[in-house]
Chains A and B, each alone.
Chain A
Amino acid sequence: MMENEILTLVTFFPTIGVLLLLLVPGDRHDSLRSVSLIIAFITMLFSFLLWAMFDPVANGMQFEVNVPWITSLGISYHVGIDGISLLLILLTTILSVLCILSAWRSIATGVKGFLISILLLETGMIGVFCALDLFLFYVFWEVMLIPMYFLIGVWGGPRKVYAAIKFVLFTMFGSLLMLVAILFMLFEYQKYSGEYSFDLLKIMQMPFAYHAQLWLFAAFGLAFAIKVPLWPFHTWLPDAHVEAPTAASVILAGVLLKMGTYGFIRICLPMFPEATVTFLPYICVLSLIAIIYGALVAMVQKDVKSLVAFSSVSHMGFIMLGMFALNTQGMEGAVLQMINHGISTGALFLIVGMLYERRHTRLIAEFGGIAKVMPFYAAVFMIVTLSSIGLPLTNGFVGEFLILIGVFKFNTVYGIVAASGVVLSACYMLWMFQRVVFGKVTKSENEKLKDVSWRERMVLIPLVVLIFWIGIYPKPFLDRIEPAVKQVLERVSRAKTVEAERRFQIETELPAREAGSVGATGHVAGGENLCWK
């Protein structure tokens, strides 16, 4: 009976919480924290309900709601989820709870604003993952920028202002071009069907001309690539990560980066399949560069947090590569790895944050021998590090393994380069771990560090449980991903055949290419109807 409301409830429950928080006086920090924790927790319970009610074998979108919003332009509040969005929503709600819990003591000024920002951010993120209307998608995409800007700018480190504005400007640049692309699609769809609609599922039925697809893919792809971030659009990421407070870093790495890859899988691949095939080699090469470059730069970092930040660049390259291998294993692995990266990198940022709270430094050289003073901490750190590297029995292994199978099937050379990235990641992670945790306690300040408190254990244990759960028994997750991935692949594989035919025709009829006509398929010939004034 809750089929229709539950998605809206999950999305907007944090916003209701914001209204509640406004009623609590700003100086009562503990009540503010408790209220927002309860709100986030209830939101998480709702999302568990979503998981329970989700039908893993059904195709297509579930829990769909479609209510007209701005009728004159065909904008509607259309939401719905498939397996991919389901998992990302769960990741969001779980990480939000952990973030509020982790910031219990570390955020002491402006507590109210901080919690309001986190909850608004949660609404924005969940909204992006369940929007099926392009306009709605864009609104949520942008809405989430503002709280993040405040989180970095107000509670961030010494270079917070620079990091915050850089983050906003980079994201805005991409998303504004995406807005123009969305508008273009609206009017193309209107010409095609006679009605205005931003509905993702409706527009997907319409074949875009090949030439238009290239532009649209470029515009959407740039917005998403900046968010992922794909090399060379990654420069905002280290700044934002290093300056952001722990909770914001966790959400940034855990969820915000996934929006880029999610955008590719939800919009770019299924809507512009022919352009996808054309752009494929470039994106693969950029991903490979990201994998190697991110790993190499991570290796020389002195600051643990920026090391983790650069490792994100490398890992996100993996996800992109797996997705663009365009086969079931690669893409399933990519989606699972999106979740895994959220869990393990989120956990790493939390762990680094705990160390920073105690010592107010994150330089690797300042530590050593932490295992002796903080044994529980060291154990969790170990598990998370190994999961980030992709050791069997942890979640990282399942994701990376599937991605590598997919990539090797697709192109052996890419596979070899990507696999060397795994080795590099083991190098920098383990080396860092060794320097921080093992050895003798060299600094006297480290001798009296307290091991993790019960509150911090509450933050870490759920993540450790997830690491092993996905690592040992990933079936429930993969089962839910599979139908969604198959649908995306079906659309792209059709385009692959069209592309192959096109290549064949170009090769056999060279004179025809000179005359400017490319192939006999309807989509391709339609390209000339476009006029760019």
Chain B
Amino acid sequence: MIDFTSASIDFELIYPEIALLAASFLILLTAFQRRLAQLAPLIALVGILVSLALVARQWGNQQSGFFGMIACDNFGTAFKAIFLVTTVLTVGMAHRYLVTRNINKPEFYALMLISTFGMMVMANTTDLVVMFLGLEIMSVPLYVMAGFARRSLESNEAAIKYFIMGAFASAFLLLGIAFLFGASGTTDLRRIVADFNYIASNFEFSLYVGAALILIGFGFKIAAVPFHTWVPDVYHGAPTPVTAFFSVGPKAAGFAVMLRIFLFGFEQMEILTVVFWVLAVLTMSVGNILALRQDNVKRMLAYSSIAHAGYMLVALVVGGAEAISAAVFYISAYTMFNLGAFAVITLLETRSGCKSDFSELTGLARSCPYLSAVLALFMFSLCGFPPTVGFFGKFYIFAAAVKSGFIWLAVIGVMNSFLSVYYYLRVVKACYFDDARTTYDPVPYSPAMVLVLIITAAGALGLGLFPQRVLEFAQSALFAFL
């Protein structure tokens, strides 16, 4: 028996998490003072940047601590960086929106940081119970954030729906962990993998049921079909910056854990290939087909995020080093262009009376040429047109699939991105080809928002032209504990 636990209580391993948590507590403490409360976004920003710097220091470090509860490896560190970038961009786009909607409360930022803390815990462990804890820490603030627009009926509906579905999923996950514990006598994934053959031969039923339940639990979080039914309403009802956060953060966290459990961990379970094949094809196709007929951009993006989860699931079908780095690359790319698209929608929604229907985009090219050019760039990136980063993301995923012989899966994948062209280009069509019928207030740019747009646009285009660095980042994410 290998001894995995290293008993040291090494706080250095969780410095980034501590920084984030400290910032969120500081926000909560200062929330009572009206003048200090104004500083909340600033405190959040500083907290995130400090945490990001600490994460960068952990890069290349592979260490386990807290009796094996915390496992710091490149794979987790890469995802932590992705979460923090997501959070910082969301903070940038949220402030003005919250002010105009009259829901600018400092708690918002505290909740977001706590949720990010949860994601970081999820990515930073190989212990199933700690993963579950992280998941709950991530999810509970999200439920609150979904309902943050207290006076909006839709926002309340989103919160309740998300909460019920989320709690349901957590129950599945917990039951799955219990089954695995029953089969193996431990919750540490590394031990389970080490004894995999023994467990598989003696407790086959518990092992497979446990894996299936865990899959269902995370299937909800990443919005894989058929566990996606909550997505459209929640994404539509929640305040737009929150939706942006939903569509990237928890999804990336869910994938981080799924990649760790199912690719690094249970790679010997052959049935998983078939299960993920079906899930990937269903998720891509259903997401894309339903997105075709949406009249609201936010809802369309909700379905599109389902479809993108489908492309990421292809990596789980394929398995192996290429697939994992392709998935990390895809998620990094997706963070950029999806957040960018939501940032534009958020900005447009700060105009009074806008609900981000397609009709509100008409004539945008005339009134705000730069904004609509940026929006078009994100749409082309979502479609996967070269030379945007969206193309390279899909390219690496499908390359991994073709390499392992899943040619038909790749063909289904590209046919799906063919379908998606239609609805993404509807946005471009509305901006550029249709004439405006009604006039709206001018778009209120804020410096933070402009910065977010510049970063995401530079990411969507620049990383597409020079993907080498991100690719290396994704490849070094392969160093993991399992």
Contact = CB atoms under 8 A, between A and B. Distances in A.
Contacts of A70: 467-468, 471
Interface string B374-416: 0000001000011100010001001100111111101100110
Interface core residue of A154, A164, A183 (most chain B CB under 10 Å): A183
B433 interface: yes
B43 interface: no
A16 interface: no
A433 to B, nearest CB: 34
Given A70-B467, A169-B418, A186-B399, A145 B385 contact: yes
Interface in B410-464: 410-411, 414-415, 417-418, 421-422, 425, 428-429, 432-434
Contacts of B432: 150, 153-154
B475 interface: yes
B185 interface: no
B369 interface: yes
A69 to B, nearest CB: 8
Contacts of A177: 411, 414
Contacts, number: 90
Interface residues of A, number: 37
Given A139-B386, A154-B432, A180 B414 contact: yes
Contacts of B406: 533
Which DSSP category, helix, strand, loop or mixed, fits chain A's interface? Answer: helix
Nearest to B426: A165
A183 B387 contact: no
B387 A168 contact: no
Interface string B206-243: 00000000000000000000000000000000000000
Nearest to A109: B366
Interface in A170-206: 172-173, 176-177, 179-180, 183-184, 186-187
B270 to A, nearest CB: 13
A142 B385 contact: yes
A73 B369 CA distance: 37
Contacts of A154: 365, 432-433
Contacts of A146: 380, 385
A123 to B, nearest CB: 11
A71 B365 CA distance: 38
User: Which of A110, A138, A172 is packed against the most chain B CB atoms within 10 Å?
Assistant: A172
Nearest to B407: A532
Nearest to A215: B407
Contact of A176 (B380, B403, B418, B428): B418
B256 to A, nearest CB: 22
Contact of B422 (A73, A149, A153, A169): A169
A70 B411 CA distance: 24
Interface string A133-174: 000001100110110011001100000110011001100110
Contact of A72 (B365, B414, B425, B468): B468
A71 B408 CA distance: 27
Interface in A285-304: none
A113 B433 CA distance: 13
Nearest to B405: A533
Contacts of A1: none
A156 to B, nearest CB: 8
Contact of B407 (A71, A138, A184): A184
B421 A172 contact: yes
Contact of A168 (B403, B415, B421, B471): B421
Given A70-B468, A150-B432, A180-B398, A187 B403 contact: yes
A175 to B, nearest CB: 9
Contacts of B391: 139, 142
A168 B410 CA distance: 21
A531 interface: yes
Contacts of B408: 532-533
Contact of A183 (B385, B402, B421, B467): B402
Contacts of A184: 402, 407
Contacts of A186: 399, 402
A179 B414 CA distance: 8
Contacts of A169: 418, 421-422
A474 interface: no
A478 B388 CA distance: 39
Contacts of B402: 180, 183-184, 186-187
A150 B372 CA distance: 13
Contacts of B434: 161
A195 B399 CA distance: 15
A26 interface: yes
A176 B433 contact: no
21 contacts: A70-B468, A72-B472, A72-B475, A139-B391, A142-B391, A143-B385, A146-B380, A150-B432, A160-B433, A168-B421, A168-B425, A169-B421, A173-B418, A176-B414, A180-B414, A183-B410, A184-B402, A186-B399, A187-B402, A532-B408, A533-B405
Given A142-B386, A150-B432, A532-B407, 14 more contacts: A70-B471, A71-B468, A72-B471, A139-B386, A161-B433, A161-B434, A172-B418, A173-B418, A176-B417, A177-B411, A180-B398, A180-B402, A183-B399, A183-B402
Give the 6 A-B CB pairs with smallest separation, nearest first.
A176-B414, A183-B402, A139-B386, A533-B405, A153-B433, A187-B403
